Amino acid sequence: ASLELGPYRHFMQKEIHEQPRAVADTIEALMDNGAFGASLFGEGAEDVLRDVEGVQILACGTSYYAGLTARYWIESIAKIPCSVEIASEYRYREAHANPKNLIVTISQSGETLDTMEALKYAKSLGHAKTLSICNVPESAIPRASRLVYYTRAGAEIGVASTKAFTTQLVALFTLTCTIAKLQGRLDAAQEAGYIDALRQLPGSVQHALNLEPQIVAWSERFAPKQHALFLGRGVHYPIALEGALKLKEISYIHAEAYPAGELKHGPLALVDEAMPVVVIAPNDALLEKVKSNIQEVRARGGEMFVFADADSQFGESEQVNVIRTPRHVGVLSPIVHAIPVQLLAYHAALARGTDVDKPRNLAKSVTVE
C-alpha cells in the first residue's frame, strides 16, 4: 500500500476512502472459496471451532466496538453465547473460564499491551482455543494465538481507526458464519445469501462514501457544538458508540452514545437546541422504536441528524435532517453505517482545524499500560 496521500488531505480521509478495496481484499480468499470454511482461519481450525460452546471477545478502543457488533451476529446466526469485554478490565478480574469457549482478540496493530495481557491471562486460566483478528502479520497477538484471521486493510496511518474497523467487522461476520456452518446452524440457502451479501458489500460501502458532500454540509453545523449525542439500537448501537468515539478523538467535541431505548433514563435531560443528536436508523426490526425515540428528542427542541437507508421512510422536518444510504443491506448494515459517522467526524474535525491524523494525547498503538 502506498504511503502517499494522493488527492487526500489526511491519511484518515484516504483510509476512509480505501474501505471498498480493504473490504474486498479482506474477503478475497472467502470469495475465491465461494463458501465459508474453517481453512480461512488457519491450520487445524475445524477442530478448534467445531465444538466451541461460546465466544469471549477481548479488545480495546475501536476494536472493542467491532466486538460489540459481532455479539449480535454470533448469538443470532451461530446461536452460541458471546460476551465482549474491554481487555484492560478482563485481565485484572477473576474471570470465569470455560475452556470450551473460543477467546477472540481483536487488534488492528497486534501489539496493544492490554489485549496481549488479556490473552495471556485467558491462556493461564486454561483457554487453549484462541483466535486473533489482526491487521499486521506476525505481530505479537497473532503469534500468541492458536488461530488467526488477517484483515487486509493495508497500513493504517491515521490514529483514529477506520478501515481497520470495517475489515474487522467483515472478519467477525465470516467467523460467525463459519462457526454456524461447522455446527450445523447454517443451511445452504442462508450461506449463499450471506456470501452474496458480502460480495456486494464493497459496492454498498462505496455508495455510502458517495454521501460525503451531504455530510460535509452537516459537519459545518456540527463544528461549533460543544457536545453531541449518538443513538442507535441493536446491532447499530455499537456504530453509535464508534461514531461518538471518532468525533471526540479527532474533533474534541464531547460525544456520548446511548442505546436509544435508554434515552429516557438519563440523557434526555441533556437535550436542548445546543445538543445535536445523531441517530443511526436503518430499516430493521427496531426502526419503529427508534422513530418514537426521535419524537422524544424532537419534543425537547433537539436537532437530529439521522442516518437512514432507502427503506427507512423518514420524513425530514425543521428539526430532523436525514441522509439516506442508497440501499438496505440487511445483516451487514452496521458495516455500511460505519462510513457516514467516520465522515462526519472527519469533516467536523476539519472544520475545527484539529490535527486529524495525530490527535492530541493519543497514540496509534498503545504498548504501555
Give the nearer residue to ligand G6P in terms of CB position, either 288 or 369.
369
With CB under 6 A as the contact rule, which of the stretches 57-65, 169-177, 188-196, 271-279 interacts with ligand G6P?
Answer: 57-65
DSSP per-residue string spanning 254-269 = EEEEEEGGGGGGTGGG
Euclidean distance between CA atoms 163 and 16, whole angstroms = 6
Contact 69, 169 (CB under 8 A): yes
145 sits near ligand G6P (criterion: CB under 6 A): no
Q: Which of 56, 101, 109, 132 binds ligand G6P (CB under 6 A)?
A: 109
Size of site (CB under 6 A) for ligand G6P? 16
354 sits near ligand G6P (criterion: CB under 6 A): no
Q: 264 an active-site residue?
A: no
Angle CA(360)–CA(84)–CA(141) in degrees, nearest 5?
65
Q: Which of 161, 167, 325, 342 binds ligand G6P (CB under 6 A)?
A: 161
Q: How many residues does the chain have?
A: 369
Q: Which of 101, 108, 130, 204 binds ligand G6P (CB under 6 A)?
A: 108
Give the nearer residue to ligand G6P in terms of CB position, either 118 or 297.
118
Binding mask 281-320 for ligand G6P (x = CB under 6 A): ----------------------------------------
With CB under 6 A as the contact rule, which of the stretches 54-62, 273-281, 293-301, 322-330 interacts with ligand G6P?
Answer: 54-62
Q: What is the DSSP letter of 76?
A: I
Question: 123, 291, 358, 364: which one is catalytic?
Answer: 364
Cβ at position 87, least distance to ligand G6P in Å: 8
Give the nearer residue to ligand G6P in terms of CB position, either 140 or 348.
140
Euclidean distance between CA atoms 269 and 278, whole angstroms = 16
What values do phi and psi take at 58, rounded to 5?
-130, 130
Cβ at position 348, least distance to ligand G6P in Å: 17
Tell me the CA distances in angstroms from 81 to 54, 55, 100, 254, one per residue in order: 5, 6, 12, 33
DSSP 3-state assignment of 30? helix
167 sits near ligand G6P (criterion: CB under 6 A): no
Give the nearer residue to ligand G6P in terms of CB position, either 169 or 279.
169
Residue with cell 467477525: 172
115 sits near ligand G6P (criterion: CB under 6 A): yes
Euclidean distance between CA atoms 40 and 27, whole angstroms = 10
Q: Which of 69, 107, 166, 174 binds ligand G6P (CB under 6 A)?
A: 107
Amino acid 198 reads: L
At 77, which helix (H) or strand (E)? Answer: none
Euclidean distance between CA atoms 337 and 124, whole angstroms = 38
Contacts of 50 (CB under 8 A, 6+ apart): 38, 182, 183
Q: Which of 13, 19, 56, 112 binds ligand G6P (CB under 6 A)?
A: 112
With CB under 6 A as the contact rule, which of the stretches 9-17, 105-113, 195-203, 277-285 interacts with ligand G6P?
Answer: 105-113
Amino acid 298 reads: R
Using CB under 6 A, which residues numbered 61 to 80 contact ligand G6P?
61-63
Residue with cell 491487521: 135
Q: Supply the residues annotated as catalytic.
A: 364
Where along the sequence are the contacts to ligand G6P (CB under 6 A)?
A: 60-63, 107-109, 112, 115, 159-161, 362, 364-366
